[in-house]
Amino acid sequence: MNLAIDFGNTSVKAGIFENNILKEKLTGITSVELSRVINAHPDYNLILCSVSSESTHFLNLIEKKDKLTILDYKTAIPITNLYETPETLGMDRLAAAVGAFTLYPNSDCLIIDAGTCITYDFLDAKAQFHGGSISPGIKMRFKALQHFTAKLPLIDTLEYVDIFGKNTSDAIKVGVLQGFKGEVESIIAVFCQKYPNINIIVTGGDISFFETKIKHSIFAVPDLVLIGLNKILNEQINV
């Protein structure tokens, strides 16, 4: 059994895999709760990727570390990483690219991860990861408007408002969500023009926004990072 763990900026996600099938997903779980699960199953093979300092506390709680792989830029992966500064690359982005390779081999892929930040990454048909771009996620945009102004309220809903808002709350929603939609569609259009057969793969906490708002054909894969982590872990086990 494999346990893939993704420590994100805002939450911890974990998946239990058997024969490459995701049997169970753990979300909204604390590091203490997760460590109890692992310590109760010492036969699990583990892989961890993290962009959060919370993972340090978690690692201190793990009793058996001999089956643990911590993903970093030196870890062997089944794709070629062409990022010029691999040591600065978020490991969740790399794991998502491996997930895309696992599900769509020999294909050009644009991977959009809509979480705390929204990242756009390109994996070509030769399994080469080229990097991409990073911009603020939806909730970060709402928080920035509230934080850097004196009177604008904090919006915490993704309720969509078309074209214009007739009050301040709706005006913020239009500005943030229409702006976000325009950004995403513009980036997708650029990639589709250059790579006509590209797969658009969307993951992350705000994945639901894409299902009805983006006009391009997309593949929604909520567990993309976990799938990639499981693939990487299997590579380590089979060495």
Rounded CA-CA distance 76/78 in Å is 7
Whole-number Cα distances in Å, 155 to 21, 144, 146, 175: 38, 10, 8, 12
Annotation says 108 is catalytic: no
Rounded CA-CA distance 110/224 in Å is 13
Rounded CA-CA distance 131/90 in Å is 10
The catalytically annotated residue of 6, 43, 72, 92 is: 92
Active site residues: 92
